[in-house]
């Protein structure tokens, strides 16, 4: 038996996702821009997917643009949004704990002459709303804030933030990275005052290499990919029909019986935290003073005193238990997490933290396997740690 507890990095595609993708590869393989029957068959998948996704957001299908995934969606939102609105100003606001796919495009924009303000967070990973409002200026054009933090599962109060931003300066473009939130929450952008929303398929049991950007009608944004004018010129390139079909099916399945799925996730999270806190020298990050339901249902950050995270990660992997030492998107470039620093994790624990992330396919047996392994490994590894 394996325990796959790295669902924040990627999820196993649903069986129904694999089936519909196989059909588009074997039978309905046409180019959706072609005028013949095979092209029309392929175009139908694209059209139906936009409708399925729009329904989940209570949005209009024309507000959905397919991308290659969350990173491209974030780049498109930030770079495209900034370039389209730069005549109104060059000031952007974000937080100090954003994912690299938000942080790095902003560094690029800074090099182009934009000014970025990075808001700090408290010990729970939340920004302070008054501080955000004080930071908004006459030349502020864009605010980008993640819905769920990918490392500690902190949940921003997007509804309050969106309302406050629009009351202070209605023409600000509000972007939300919902890559770890979509599929875990019901997100209705218009109700939340969200203008741009980034989503990735492989975080919700869809395929890799596909995602979408919600662009609220009449919001100005420039394309960052040019070519054959597909998707009304917003994102040129032949549409990834197998990916789009798979994403559509994943959206349909993840939101079917959704409340029951999320209730089950919270029950597993609560059980795992209660059990892991019984192990000596463990600290669960970002939950102090919060109920479990005030955090994301699938992400658990744990620091293990006296053990390096990389060592523990590989020791667990040897037992077929798979976890992460942070964001898998940058795991090939190990660095101390800005998120952990941002919430005030003790210096000696910064390099001793693992992320356990669950999905709707996770079982209690997998959690028990991980807990048993940790109980066995921690004393051994601590014995051999240099002091």
169 is catalytic: no
Both tokens of 202, joined, read 């492989």
**DSSP tag of 295:** B
Both tokens of 96, joined, read 């100090």
Distance CA 67, CA 28 (A): 20
From the centroid of its chain, how far is CA 357? 12
Residue with the two structure tokens 């079982």:
363
Question: Residue 336: its pLDDT value, please?
Answer: 54
Question: Residue 325: its pLDDT value, please?
Answer: 87
Q: Could you state, in chain order, the average pLDDT of each consecutive group of 10 residues for the chain (387 residues)? A: 97 98 96 92 96 98 98 98 98 96 97 97 95 97 98 96 98 98 98 98 98 97 94 93 98 98 98 97 93 97 95 97 73 62 88 96 98 97 74
Question: Residue 331: its pLDDT value, please?
Answer: 45
Distance CA 28, CA 201 (A): 21
Cβ atoms of residues 284 and 379 within 8 Å: no
Q: What is the DSSP string of 51-90?
A: HHHHHHHT--GGGEEEESSHHHHHHIIIIIHHHHHGGG--
Question: Residue 334: its pLDDT value, please?
Answer: 47
Tell me how far CA of residue 247 lies from CA of 21, 281, 385, in angstroms.
Answer: 9, 41, 44
Distance CA 184, CA 145 (A): 17
Both tokens of 102, joined, read 């938000």
Distance CA 67, CA 52 (A): 16
> Where are the alpha helices (H) located in the chain, listed in sequence order?
15-26, 37-57, 70-75, 81-85, 100-111, 129-135, 158-168, 189-192, 241-254, 258-276, 309-317, 338-342, 364-383
Question: Residue 333: its pLDDT value, please?
Answer: 45
Distance CA 361, CA 272 (A): 15
User: Which class for 232: exposed (0-12), middle (13-18), buried (19 or more C-beta within 10 A)?
Assistant: exposed
CB-based contacts of 53, cutoff 8 Å, min separation 6: 59, 61, 64, 212, 247, 248, 251
Give me the CATH topology for the region 3-11+257-383.
Answer: 3.90.1150
Closest residue by Cα to residue 350 from 366, 335, 336: 336
The secondary element (H helix, E strand) that includes residue 301 is strand 299-304
Distance CA 98, CA 366 (A): 29
Show me where the domains of the chain are located: 3-11+257-383, 15-255
Cβ atoms of residues 17 and 207 within 8 Å: yes
**Choosing from 54, 273, 329, 381, which is the catalytic residue?**
329
Architecture of domain 15-255: 3-Layer(aba) Sandwich (3.40)
């Amino acid at each position: 038996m394996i325990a796959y507890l790295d669902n924040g990095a990627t999820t196993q595609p649903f069986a129904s996702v694999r089936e519909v993708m196989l059909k588009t590869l074997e039978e309905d393989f046409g180019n959706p821009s072609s005028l013949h029957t095979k092209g029309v068959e392929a175009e139908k998948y694209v059209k139906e997917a936009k409708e399925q996704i729009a329904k989940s957001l209570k949005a209009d299908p024309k507000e959905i643009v397919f991308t290659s995934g969350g990173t491209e969606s974030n780049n498109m939102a930030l770079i495209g949004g900034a370039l389209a609105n730069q005549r109104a100003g060059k000031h952007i606001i974000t937080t100090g704990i954003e994912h690299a796919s938000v942080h790095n495009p902003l560094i690029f924009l800074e090099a182009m002459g934009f000014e970025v303000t990075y808001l700090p967070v408290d010990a729970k990973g939340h920004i302070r709303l008054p501080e955000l409002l004080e930071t908004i200026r006459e030349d502020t054009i864009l605010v980008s804030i993640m819905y769920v933090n990918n490392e500690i599962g902190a949940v921003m109060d997007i509804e309050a933030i969106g309302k406050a931003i629009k009351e202070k300066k209605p023409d600000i473009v509000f972007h939300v990275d919902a890559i770890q939130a979509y599929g875990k929450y019901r997100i209705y952008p218009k109700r939340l005052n969200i203008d741009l929303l980034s989503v990735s398929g492989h975080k919700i049991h869809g395929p890799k290499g596909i995602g979408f950007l919600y662009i609220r009608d009449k919001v100005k944004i420039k394309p960052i990919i040019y070519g054959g004018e597909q998707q009304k010129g917003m994102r040129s390139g032949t549409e990834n029909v197998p990916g789009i079909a798979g994403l559509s099916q994943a959206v349909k399945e993840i939101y079917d019986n959704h409340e029951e799925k999320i209730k089950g996730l919270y029950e597993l999270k609560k059980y795992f935290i209660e059990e892991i806190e019984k192990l000596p020298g463990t600290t669960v990050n970002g939950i102090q003073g919060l109920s479990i339901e005030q955090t994301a249902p699938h992400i658990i950050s744990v620091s293990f005193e006296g053990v390096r995270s990389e060592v523990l990660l590989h020791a667990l992997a040897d037992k077929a238990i798979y976890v992460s030492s942070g964001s898998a998107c940058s795991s090939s470039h190990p660095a101390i997490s800005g998120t952990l620093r941002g919430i005030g994790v003790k210096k000696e624990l910064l390099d001793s933290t693992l992320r356990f992330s669950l999905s709707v396919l996770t079982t209690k047996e997998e959690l028990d396997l991980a807990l048993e392994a940790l109980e066995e490994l921690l004393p051994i590894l601590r014995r051999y740690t240099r002091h």
